[in-house]
């Protein structure tokens, strides 16, 4: 083919291409089904927000600062202080409620486990079995007793909407068992002090002339369970007399003789330690007198 013919063919091809319609760029929504309703950008963003993790309900709402509008400085400070005290009371109540429920559940479950011979089934003593459950061995029977005390106080707790922890229930339960009305008065008097605790309950009971069946409560013991341990490190003689009274022993024999035997064995060990210390003290005193 001559040079002129090649040039002519090339020109014809270019003319043909120029006459073809240009391809329209694909639209961003070209993959949408035209038969389905379409969403606007704002609607799409709203839907995407709906599927995002929402804020939980565990955290409280932020304090509404707008509620202070129109107040002078002194009134604003008073309102904020009142809100703080309310938050503090809420925290204490929530803590006591959780502690109370936990004490009841653990104590009742532990009693069921011991009653069914769970320690023997696992080849353990009661104290070792308790530790396998994450319970300090000296609190085995305290937990059980605490659950019983709190259950006994259930009508008073519900009527006053006042959760009680183990140490508080230990003070109030003996009074309630003898006189529910007197226990209600003691509870109310303790609450009026502004700080509900085992110590304030005991003081209120004393002021109202009520007899409390409980060892002395110190500030370090206000959150500790009652002294009915399976492995107490220093059992008090006055509490032991009550604990091993004939009626108490008969009750323990019926409820859990294996646990009673464990307790007696431990007390014997502790008494032997005490006797050795007493004898050492006697020798020291005699030596001092003879010199």
42 pLDDT more than 90: no
Secondary structure class of 44 (helix, strand, coil): helix
* The two structure tokens encoding residue 79: 């309102």
pLDDT in tens, 247-264: 888 888 888 877 788 788
C-alpha to C-alpha distance for 58 and 219, rounded to whole angstroms: 32
* The two structure tokens encoding residue 119: 């320690």
Average pLDDT over residues 134-156: 88
Average pLDDT over residues 37-64: 58
- Give residue 164's pLDDT band: very low, low, confident or very high (50, 70, 90): very high
pLDDT in tens, 93-124: 788 888 899 889 988 998 888 888 898 999 99
Looking at the 3D structure of the chain, how many domains does it have?
2
State the average pLDDT for the chain. Answer: 75
State which of 207, 231, 255 marks the end of a domain: 231
Q: By mean pLDDT, which of 73-77, 115-119, 236-240 is the weakest? A: 236-240
Cβ neighbors of 238 (< 8 A, separation 6 or more) are: 215
Q: Nearest-5° angle of CA 184, CA 189, CA 195?
A: 115
State which of 192, 214, 231 marks the end of a domain: 231
Q: For the chain, percent helix, then strand, then coil, each to nearest 5?
A: 65, 0, 35
- CA-nearest of 198, 201, 219 to 210 is 201
261 shares a domain with 205:
no
152 domain residue, yes or no = yes
240 shares a domain with 139:
no
Q: Based on the number of CB atoms within 10 Å of its own CB, is 145 exposed (0-12), middle (13-18) or buried (19 or more)?
A: buried
pTM assigned to the model: 0.49
- Give residue 271's pLDDT band: very low, low, confident or very high (50, 70, 90): confident
- CA-nearest of 266, 179, 169, 265 to 226 is 169
190 domain residue, yes or no = yes
224 shares a domain with 106:
yes
- Give residue 158's pLDDT band: very low, low, confident or very high (50, 70, 90): very high
Q: Are 39 and 47 in contact (CB under 8 A)?
A: yes
pLDDT of residue 155: 94
């Amino acid at each position: 083919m001559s040079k002129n013919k090649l040039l002519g063919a090339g020109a014809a091809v270019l003319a043909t291409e120029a006459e073809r319609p240009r391809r329209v760029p694909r639209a961003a929504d070209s993959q949408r089904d035209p038969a389905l309703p379409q969403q606007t950008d704002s609607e799409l963003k709203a839907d995407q927000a709906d599927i995002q993790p929402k804020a939980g309900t565990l955290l409280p709402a932020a304090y509404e600062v707008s509620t202070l509008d129109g107040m002078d400085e002194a009134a604003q400070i008073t309102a904020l202080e009142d809100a703080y005290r309310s938050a503090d009371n809420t925290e204490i109540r929530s803590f006591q409620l959780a502690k109370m429920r936990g004490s009841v559940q653990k104590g009742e479950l532990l009693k069921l486990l011991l009653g069914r011979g769970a320690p023997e089934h696992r080849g353990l003593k009661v104290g070792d079995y308790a530790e396998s459950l994450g319970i300090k061995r000296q609190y085995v029977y305290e937990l059980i007793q605490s659950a019983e005390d709190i259950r006994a106080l259930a009508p008073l707790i519900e009527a006053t909407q006042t959760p009680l922890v183990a140490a508080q229930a230990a003070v109030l339960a003996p009074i309630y068992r003898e006189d529910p009305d007197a226990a209600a008065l003691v509870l109310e008097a303790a609450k009026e002090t502004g700080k509900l605790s085992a110590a304030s309950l005991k003081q209120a009971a004393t002021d109202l002339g009520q007899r409390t069946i409980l060892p002395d409560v110190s500030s370090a013991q206000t959150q500790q369970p009652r002294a009915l341990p399976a492995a107490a490190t220093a059992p008090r003689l006055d509490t032991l007399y009550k604990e091993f009274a004939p009626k108490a022993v008969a009750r323990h024999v019926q409820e859990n003789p294996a646990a009673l035997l464990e307790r007696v064995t431990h007390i014997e060990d502790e008494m032997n330690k005490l006797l050795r210390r007493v004898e050492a003290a006697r020798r020291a005193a005699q030596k001092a007198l003879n010199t």
